[in-house]
A and B are shown apart, each in its own frame.
Chain A
Amino acid sequence: MTMDVTQLQRRLRDHEATLFQQGYLDDDQFSQLQKLQDDSSPDFVIEVVTMFFDDSENLLKSMARAMEMVPVDFKQLDAHVHQYKGSSASIGAIRVKNVCATFKDFCDAKNLDGCVRCLQQLQHEYSQVKTHLQYLFRLQQEIKAAGGSMHAH
């Protein structure tokens, strides 16, 4: 039992390190979120990340809708991208944030092809970070269920 917990904890640490090294998550910002989790808010990180997932899905749909309009509503599209840039930065999802920065430039230039490519990239980056975060949370839950702590040394 103890070995299982130790293995899970190692897997968790390795997975976190990979997320930071591969640039999916900003180490500093995500660590600051984790520090906000305590006895009074034991599920804070999952809650805020789940909100980000809901946000993401709504904003990505809204962006697609704005680009389907004739003529394209670049101002509305820019507003959605701006919002997504802020929320992704707030949870430390830097790859998503960086695509938003490029996307904004294409909105400013009213470059539809560029916007289409950026939306595809955003959908890809969001899907990746979501998968990685869901795996992270699954590991944390398995550790908890096995009686371990997420912060073992």
Chain B
Amino acid sequence: MGLKKAGSEGGSSSEWRISALVVDDNATIRFLHKTILKGLCNMEPKIAKDGKEAVDMCRSGENFDIILMDKQMPIMNGVEATRKLREMGVKSKIVGVTILDNESEKEEFLAAGLDLYLEKPLNPTMLRDVLKELQLI
């Protein structure tokens, strides 16, 4: 995985470097989520515009500690992309991110292989809590 500790034992969270991938078809959201994660992860996150790009990146050997996966995207949606990534054996923490859905759609997304599900809008406080819950910081 991409998790690296840049300092000595017992250092602060700012010494951690967490590799992240933001998958969303909307440019504003990609920019926002990337900026939030950059501050928390101490590494520049990568981006993908749809599920297929995300799958192709992982298939080409890229590893990520965390993937923020939007649900509704063209070409390949987040549910299908998550399923494919898990079938490929990808061990990244995958966090599903979408605007309010009904319960059955949420369950479908979780069942595809998510570690967590979040509702938009995201903010730094939420993502910091998520990274802690996933034990990445």
Chain A interface residues toward B at CB < 8 A? 28-29, 32-33, 35-36, 41, 44, 47-48, 51-52, 54-55, 79, 82-83, 85-87, 89-92
Contacts and interface: CB of A to CB of B under 8 A. Distances in A.
Contacts of B25: 83
A48 B124 CA distance: 15
Nearest to A53: B28
Majority-rule SS of A interface residues: helix
B29 interface: yes
The 5 closest A-B pairs by CB, nearest first: A32-B123, A89-B121, A51-B28, A87-B28, A90-B121
B124 A87 contact: no
Contacts of A54: 27
Interface of B: 25-29, 31-32, 35-36, 39, 70, 72, 74, 98-99, 120-125
A36 B28 contact: no
A83 B25 CA distance: 8
B35 A41 contact: yes
B28 A79 contact: no
A87 B74 CA distance: 16
B99 A47 contact: no
B99 A82 contact: yes
Contact of B74 (A48, A79, A85, A86): A79
